[in-house]
Amino acid sequence: MSATISEPLTTTAAWTAVCAYDDLLPERGVCALVDGRQVAVFRTFDGAVHALDNLDPFSGAYVLSRGIVGTRKGEPTVASPLHKQVFSLATGRCLDEQGVAVPVYAVRVSGGAVEVSLQG
């Protein structure tokens, strides 16, 4: 369980619109399907958006989008809903177990739409 995940990401620089910004509840996530990849998109309390891979590396289930969003020492986080390991929304790093991380994707709000790019 200690391998760092560093899969090569697809090279499409394109942005994919996944939903309206207003569809996101503050401090909850949704999952979007982008080029066959499951991306967890979160909106935090301050209005910022973050995107992580939806795969929980501990359980092997695609569930991170359904975790509880919060903070740890000020850093925005999500806790896996299965075994509660906490991941940084900013870096994808697991804050409970060194050496584990999930990929982070670029995400932006453009004209009221949330857009994701798999090119990190």
Partner 1 sequence: MRKLVVVGYGPTAHRLVETLRDRGFDGRVTVIGEEPRPAYDRVHLTSYLSGTTLEDLTYDVPEGTVTRLNTRVTGIDRQARHVVTADGGVEPYDVLVLATGSAPFVPPVPGAEHAYVYRTIEDLDAIRKAAKDAAEGVVVGGGLLGLEAADALRALGLKAHIVEMSPWLMPRQVDEGGGAVLKQHIEGLGLAVHAGAGVQEVVTDGEGQVTGLRKPDGTLVEAQVVVFSAGIRPRDELARAAGLEVGERGGVVVDPGMRTSDPSIYAVGECALAGGMIYGLVGPCNTMAEVAADRILGGSATFEGADMSTKLKLLGVEVAQFGAMTGALDVTYMDPVGGVYKKLFISDDARTLLGGICVGDASPYTSLRPFVGKALPASPSDLLFSGAGANLDLPDEAQVCSCNNVCAGDIRTAVADKGVTDVPGLKACTRAGTTCGSCVPMLKQLLEKSGVEVSKALCEHFTYSRAELFDIVRVREITTFSQLIAEHGQGRGCDICKPAVASILASLHNGHVLEGERAALQDTNDAFLANIQKNGTYSVVPRIPGGEITPEKLIVIGEVARDYGLYTKITGGQRIDLFGARVEQLPEIWRRLVDAGFESGHAYGKALRTVKSCVGSTWCRYGVQDSVGLAIDLELRYRGLRSPHKLKSAVSGCARECAEARSKDFGIIATEKGWNLYVAGNGGFKPRHADLLAGDLSTEELIRTIDRFLMFYIRTADRLQRTAAWLESLEGGLDYLREVIMEDSLGICADLDAQMAHHVATYADEWSATLEDPDKLRRFVSFVNAPGVPDPSIVFESERGQIKPVMAR
Q: How far is the CB of 108 from partner 1 (least distance, A)?
A: 15
Token digits of residue 103: 């990929």
Q: How far is the CB of 9 from partner 1 (least distance, A)?
A: 18
Output 9 or 58, the one with its CB closest to partner 1: 58
Q: What radius of gyration do the chain's Cα atoms show?
A: 13
Token digits of residue 16: 């994919």
* CB neighbour class for 111 (10 Å; exposed up to 12, middle 13-18, buried from 19): exposed
Output 69 or 102, the one with its CB closest to partner 1: 69
**Which residues of the shown chain bind partner 1 in the complex (CB under 8 A)?**
1-3, 16-19, 23, 25-28, 30-34, 38, 41, 44-45, 55, 59-63, 66-74, 76-77, 79, 81-82, 84, 86, 99
Q: How far is the CB of 106 from partner 1 (least distance, A)?
A: 16
Q: How far is the CB of 117 from partner 1 (least distance, A)?
A: 14
Output 22 or 119, the one with its CB closest to partner 1: 22
* CB neighbour class for 56 (10 Å; exposed up to 12, middle 13-18, buried from 19): buried
Sorted by sequence, the CB contacts under 8 Å of residue 30 that are 6+ apart come out as 18, 19, 23, 24, 40, 41, 65
